[in-house]
Amino acid sequence: MTQLPESSSAPRSDAVSVKAVDKTFDTRSGQVQALTSIDLTVSAGEFVSLIGPSGCGKSTLMRLIADLDQPTAGSVTVFGKTASQARRDQDYGIAFQQAGLLPWRTVAANVGLPLELHGASSSARSARVAELLDMVGLSDFADRYPDQLSGGMQQRVAIARSLAEKPDLLLMDEPFGALDEMTRERMQTELLRICAETGAAVVFVTHSIPEAVYLSDRVVVMSPRPGRIQEIVPMALTRDPEHAEALREERAFFDGVTAVREALHTGSPVPTGARGVENR
Ligand code: ADP
Ligand code: MG
């Protein structure tokens, strides 16, 4: 009798689990408490946005999940592994505010880097790179170098790179910040399509309330000094990839915008039941 691999019967672990995390930075002028008592679970396939004023610790939290920095207290796991193991296994794609491209590599070679690191064949790589560049509208720029592109174009290269391996988790810190409004809306819709297709979970930082509402299953509203989770607002939008654009004009969308805006502005305490609500 053939035995099934364990993973096929085991429940899929959460994409991200952050438990009782504090982060304090030691600086020359003293300690900066960037995050305090952060508890957050992102389910497999779930889209969660972080929103809050500048300096509330959004990027710090992303860096802890990506193992680019370590918490002062508490724990972070990614698909049930330690953050550092998940980083070594390259379990996720990253697109951060600064595009982080390698200046000596062409656009195509930057996008193909994760595939190269994982030993994909050169023909498989070039097919996938072509597909990704087409998706972000940069097919004509494959042979250019990053410093020959605008900031918005560099960001699109970084987004394409983060999607190269169809990861189960995407960590995105203001990835659309340098894009014009039209391109931004197109990239948002494209991102939702990709998530629907691949079942990827996303942790997404943004300053834009409509962007958070349009994309997310839950919006995490953070407050500063020290950064903490003020409220988690579940979204009740029905996302149909066929009618993704129409969603921006629907009642549920505006209700979501109002709910997040009120959470940001009133600084109301966490309502019981709102925290940890799972949408999927
Ligand atoms: P956000 O992304 O929400 O704007 P950050 O996570 O970048 O906020 O920063 C949160 C707080 O932590 C800020 O007060 C910032 O100055 C501080 N901070 C972030 N990184 C460092 C660091 N490496 N050293 C000292 N302070 C830091
Ligand atoms: Mg930031």
User: Tokens 């494209």 appear where?
Assistant: 190
- Residues 176 and 252 both lie in one domain: yes
Q: Is residue 17 situated within a structural domain?
A: no
Q: What is the mean pLDDT of residues 34-62?
A: 96
**Which band of pLDDT confidence, cut at 50, 70 and 90, is reported for residue 261?**
very high
Protein residues with C-beta less than 5 angstroms from the ion ligand 2: 59
**Which band of pLDDT confidence, cut at 50, 70 and 90, is reported for residue 250?**
confident
CB contact set of 278 (below 8 Å; sequence gap of 6+): 43, 46
Q: Name the more confident of 82 and 89.
A: 82
Record the pTM. Answer: 0.87
- Residues 178 and 240 both lie in one domain: yes
- Residues 233 and 155 both lie in one domain: no
Does residue 80 have a pLDDT over 60? yes
Q: Is residue 222 situated within a structural domain?
A: yes
- Residues 142 and 178 both lie in one domain: no
> For residue 61, which ligand has an atom nearest its CA?
1
Q: Is residue 236 situated within a structural domain?
A: yes
Predicted confidence (pLDDT) per residue in 93-125, tens digit: 998 877 789 999 999 999 999 899 888 889 989
Ligand 1 site, residue 56, Cβ cutoff 6 A: yes
- Ligand 1 centroid – CA 223 distance (Å): 13
- Write out the DSSP string of 84-106: HHHHHTT-SEEE-SS----TTS-
- Residues 43 and 71 both lie in one domain: yes
Domain of 239, in residue numbers: 26-91+168-269
- Residues 129 and 235 both lie in one domain: no
**Of 149, 166, 183, which residue constitutes the final position of a domain?**
166
Q: Is residue 160 situated within a structural domain?
A: yes
Q: Residue 57's pLDDT is what? A: 96
pLDDT > 70 fraction of the chain, expressed in percent and rounded: 90
- Residues 113 and 162 both lie in one domain: yes
- Residues 220 and 126 both lie in one domain: no
**CATH number for the domain harbouring residue 242:** 3.40.50.300
Does residue 45 have a pLDDT over 70? yes
- Residues 65 and 162 both lie in one domain: no
- Ligand 2 centroid – CA 256 distance (Å): 23
Which residue among 22, 24, 25 is best mutated to probe the pocket of ligand 1, counting the most ligand atoms within 8 A of its Cβ?
25
Dist. CA 83–CA 67, nearest whole Å: 5
Dist. CA 110–CA 240, nearest whole Å: 32
- Residues 184 and 244 both lie in one domain: yes
Q: Residue 267's pLDDT is what? A: 59
Instruction: Find out whether 45 and 278 touch, Cβ atoms under 8 Å.
Output: no
* Count of structural domains, the chain: 2
Does residue 52 have a pLDDT over 60? yes
**Of 166, 183, 209, which residue constitutes the final position of a domain?**
166
**Of 117, 144, 166, which residue constitutes the final position of a domain?**
166
Q: Is residue 5 situated within a structural domain?
A: no
Does residue 279 have a pLDDT over 60? no
Indicate the pairing of strand 218-223 with strand 47-51. Answer: parallel
**Which band of pLDDT confidence, cut at 50, 70 and 90, is reported for residue 274?**
very low
- Residues 155 and 176 both lie in one domain: no
